[in-house]
Amino acid sequence: MEHKMNPMAKKVLLVEGNDERDLCYLLINKKLGLKCIIGKYDKTFIEDDDTIHIMTINKVDNKNHITSFIKTSNYNNIEKLAIVVDAESNAQKRFNIFNDIIKCEYNQNKNIYYDDYKGLFITSKTDDKTSGYLEHLVEKIILENDKDLYNDCVNNFFHCADNYINQGSNKAHLLKAKILAFISVRCKKRNTVGGLFQKCSHYLDSNVLYDLIDFLNNMFK
C-alpha cells in the first residue's frame, strides 16, 4: 500500500477513478499549462512547483485508504492537496471521509471547500443515486457538441452496453453504458472518457467544466 499510494510531487490531486484521472489530466495540462504524472511513479520525488501527481483512490469510502495515504513517507512533503469526489447519496458523509486531511466545516450549500492549501470538490447533487457526476457532466458536453450523433447511436448503445447493464438490477451503469456507446462511434481508437476528450479537444472549452477548472486553477496555479 505504501508504494502504491505514496505521493511523488509537492502538488497532489486525488480522484476516484481512471476516467476522472484522465479528464483532470487533460484539464490541468491544456487549461492550466501545468505538468502531470499519474498512477505509480517509481522515480525520485519531484521538487518542481509546476508538477501535479494525480492519484486514484478506488473504494474511496474505505477509511483505511485515506489513513494509509496519510501515513505514506512523502505525505508531509505535499504542499497543495486537492480531492475530487462524488457526493453520491450523502454529501455530509462524503465530506466526513476526508476529515483527517481537510480541516474545514461542511457547507451544504457549496460544493467546494478550501482550507489553506488543501481543497475538496464534491461533484454531484445528493439526490441522484443512479450515476456519478462525471457521467452527467460528459453527457451535457456531448449534447452541446454532438447531439445528433449521440441520439443516432442509440442502436449501438444496446449492443455495446450489455456488459454494463447486465450487472444485476443496478441502474447506475445505464448512463455510463450510453456514453460508452457514443464513444464507440465517435472515438475509434480509445474507447474511454479520456480518449473522447483527447479526440474532441474542443469539449474542454465547455462551460460545463468551469467549476472544476476554477477549482483546479485555485488549487494549483
DSSP 9: B
**pLDDT per position as a tens digit, 67-117:** 788 888 899 999 999 999 887 777 788 888 887 788 888 777 777 888 878
The pTM assigned to this predicted structure is 0.84
Q: Which amino acid is at 88?
A: E
**pLDDT tens digits, one per residue of 114-149:** 887 888 887 765 555 555 678 888 989 999 999 988
pLDDT at 151 > cutoff 50? yes
| pLDDT score at 201 | 93
Mean pLDDT of the chain: 81
Residue 35 backbone phi and psi in degrees, to 5: -90, 150
pLDDT of residue 160: 65
- Cα dihedral across residues 138, 207, 51, 57: positive or negative: negative
Please say if the pLDDT value at position 208 is more than 50: yes
- Polymer length of the chain: 221
**Lowest-confidence pick of 98-102, 208-212, 213-217:** 98-102
